[in-house]
Chain A
Amino acid sequence: MNPLPHTALAAPVITTQPPQIDYALLAPLLVVFAAGVIGVLVEAFVPRPRRRAVQFTLAALALVAAFVLTVVRVALLPAGGAGLTVASASIAVDRPTLFFQGTILVMAIASLLLIAEHRHGESAFAAQAATVPGSEEERAHVLAGSQHTEVYPLVLFAVLGMLMFPASNDFLTMFIALEVMSLPLYLLCGLARRRRLFSQEAAVKYFLLGAFSSAFFLFGIAMVYGYAGSVNFAVIHDTVAAGGAGALPGGGPLLLLGIALVGVGLLFKVGAVPFHSWKPDVYQGAPTPITALMASGTLVAAFGALLRVFYVAFGGSVAEWRPMMWVVAVLTMVLAAVVAVTQRDIKRLLAYSSVVHAGFVLTAVVAASAEGLAGAMFYLAAYGFTTVGAFAVVTLVRVHEGGAESGDIASWAGLGRTSPVLAGSLALFLLAFAGIPLTSGFIGKFAVFEAAVSAGATPLVVVGVLSSAVTAFFYVRIIVLMFFAEPAEARPRVLRPGRLTGAVIGVGVVATLVLGVFPGPVLDRLSPAPGAGTAEAQSVPGGFATTADLFANR
């Protein structure tokens, strides 16, 4: 007896033909991976004093080369907005992929500069992470000037995962990318030089919750596979679009379960509200350069993956997942904004602010339209630059004893008088977070909310605007504190920005202003030219038959 009646889904044909792989399209991934592997060899064979310089040069060259290759690949794409798939259709190379990968690489380069910043031979990372905090061994390693240069290959591997995550074209590749991205980050979170127990706690929390979310994601994949009989996004899309029960008789509920569970896994990585609880603890405990990488690169990658899954694979059942996203977006914008008001630590505040911004991007996801995709992409790039700059400022304000970062917002009072340039940059970043005109944050919010309104989600936009008003309150409160309050008694020590940190803050300021004042060229390029859709298929604004055509990759 055969309990499974659908024998039509036969075992895959074992082919002995070597797959055709277009290595040019995979080049950025390969470069980053190769640099990571060479970085491990550098750890093994290069003498200790020269490791840092070699590792930094290697990582920086690899990331810059990968960025150049990403830009070059734009020319390789066929005209008319179509995309390509590589390696047995497991990786999709299309315009959204290239945009997300380019953004991730720029964010990774900025974070790398923060990671490499050194003062008096001290980095942001523990001298020897394996020693017990406060022990004699730890002191010995600090005195000996030990360094964890393994940080660089780990960052490269994490970036590799981030590059793969939004480019994955099937669920298994996406899961591998998720793990390649997450595992090095779990480790990097625990490597802070100061407040080490705190940092290790953050790493454990992130790891345990991340493992849970991976399990949800995998379970969801199993459900979707049960429904569609495939993990490939294009096949899933076609099965969903055809409607009905899918591959199994009565398999309809499997799709709903799958959407929900996959959604949990992805929304966890994004940090949307019911699944956000890791974010404040992890962002606060992790070394600040790693926090900058997570707040920019990981967020972009996670949203890229979320958009691809929900627009391409589940593009035929927008009506099913839209209510779910709607609820999550409202919860995220409201709850995180309210909780952020009570925060006293700058890193926790920026973490909650990151949760709120995830909610704003979710309003664009809800739109399920070309404007939604373009708005989300612009928002993520703009937010990434601003947040990296903000965390770069955080690395410079230290307490007097021990040199840990002075996270307490009260101690930042009067910073505008003692270090006006630094406080001015932070004020600009905070205004951009708040969405004040002439900053990138305003354009981003405008694009996102406009997309949501034109998709009929006006109540959601009302909630979003109210939530922006709440967030503006606590951003402006910090600015007022910095510029109009008397300096605190326990004034923090403000370090002179080194060349690397200074460059990151400068790039953040310039990007925030340029994207705010001249957003046109970027925004215009992001909106995909309609052409794939036909006249009668107008279910999605902009002439696209379905949301999947936005990725032009089926």
Chain B
Amino acid sequence: MELYAPIFVLGGIGAAFVVVSMIAGSLLGPKRYNRAKLQSYECGIDPTPQPVGGGRFTIKYYLTAMLFIVFDIEVIFLVPWAVHLDALGVFGLVAMVLFLVNVSIAYAYEWRRGGLEWE
């Protein structure tokens, strides 16, 4: 049981922080609403209300976000390899090149199928 004591204490501090700061914010914070503040808290397009007849979301945001994630992961994966490039040797180099080729293939697909054209 004592094994878990630090975890419970940490969890308690975390929960207390959330509760205390939310209560403090609602009690102490100034409330001056305007149009921008009353909008839904999201970036990009408004999810509601949808246009008449079902309506469609523009796919552009998702494509851009997906592309970002691909490159994001790629970079994160590259960093440890780059740090230890000398130790990992030819095997590491070939493995990383293969990884980059595979990632680029997905990128080539998106580019050829018009995923990068904004309009």
A interface residues (Cβ-Cβ under 8 A, vs B): 3-4, 16, 18-19, 37, 40-41, 43-45, 130, 132, 135
Contact = CB atoms under 8 A, between A and B. Distances in A.
Contacts of B3: 3-4
Contacts of A43: 109, 112-113
18 contacts: A3-B3, A3-B6, A4-B3, A16-B87, A18-B89, A40-B105, A40-B109, A41-B108, A41-B109, A43-B109, A43-B112, A43-B113, A44-B105, A44-B108, A44-B109, A44-B112, A45-B112, A130-B59
B105 A132 contact: no
A132 B90 CA distance: 49
Contact of A44 (B59, B92, B113): B113
A4 B3 CA distance: 7
Contact of A41 (B84, B89, B91, B105): B105
Contact of B91 (A18, A37, A45): A18
Nearest to B55: A132
Contacts of A40: 105-106, 109
A136 to B, nearest CB: 10
A16 B89 contact: yes
A40 to B, nearest CB: 5
Interface residues of B, number: 21
Which of A19, A44, A135 is the most central at the interface, judged by chain B CB atoms within 10 Å of its CB?
A: A44
Contacts of A18: 89-92
B14 interface: no
Interface in B52-83: 54, 56, 59
Interface of B: 2-3, 6, 54, 56, 59, 84, 87-92, 102, 105-106, 108-109, 111-113
A208 B59 CA distance: 22
Q: When A and B form their complex, which 10 residue pairs have the shortest distance between CB atoms, in order from nearest?
A: A18-B91, A44-B112, A16-B87, A44-B109, A44-B108, A40-B109, A40-B105, A3-B3, A37-B105, A43-B109
Nearest to A132: B54
Nearest to B90: A18
A155 B111 CA distance: 22
A41 B109 CA distance: 7
Contacts of B90: 18
A-side binding surface: helix, strand, loop or mixed? loop
Given A3-B3, A45-B112, 8 more contacts: A16-B87, A16-B88, A19-B91, A40-B109, A44-B105, A44-B109, A44-B113, A45-B108
A40 B110 CA distance: 10
A37 B102 contact: yes
Nearest to A4: B3
B89 to A, nearest CB: 7
B109 A132 contact: no
B57 to A, nearest CB: 11
Nearest to B56: A132
Nearest to A33: B102
A534 to B, nearest CB: 40
A43 B106 CA distance: 10
Contacts of A41: 105, 108-109
Contacts of B108: 41, 44-45
A296 to B, nearest CB: 28
Contacts of B84: 16
Which of B59, B106, B109 is the most central at the interface, judged by chain A CB atoms within 10 Å of its CB?
A: B109
A93 to B, nearest CB: 21
Which of A18, A45, A132 is the most central at the interface, judged by chain B CB atoms within 10 Å of its CB?
A: A18
Contacts of B87: 16
Nearest to B94: A18
A44 B109 CA distance: 5
B80 to A, nearest CB: 11
Nearest to A18: B91
B117 to A, nearest CB: 14
A46 to B, nearest CB: 10
A43 to B, nearest CB: 6
A3 B5 CA distance: 9
B92 to A, nearest CB: 8
A113 to B, nearest CB: 26
A37 B59 CA distance: 24
Contacts of B91: 18-19
Contacts of B112: 43-45
B109 to A, nearest CB: 5
Nearest to A43: B109
A34 to B, nearest CB: 10
Contacts of B92: 18
B5 to A, nearest CB: 8
Nearest to A41: B105
A41 B2 CA distance: 56
Contacts of B89: 16, 18
Contacts of A4: 3
A388 to B, nearest CB: 30
Contacts of A37: 102, 105
Contacts of A132: 54, 56
Contacts of A3: 2-3, 6
A43 B3 CA distance: 55
Nearest to A137: B56
Contacts of B59: 130
Nearest to A1: B6
Nearest to A153: B109
A132 B50 CA distance: 14
A180 to B, nearest CB: 13
Nearest to A19: B91
Nearest to A37: B105
Contacts of B105: 37, 40-41, 44
Contacts of B111: 44
Nearest to B106: A40
A37 B105 CA distance: 7
A16 B93 CA distance: 12
Contacts of B88: 16
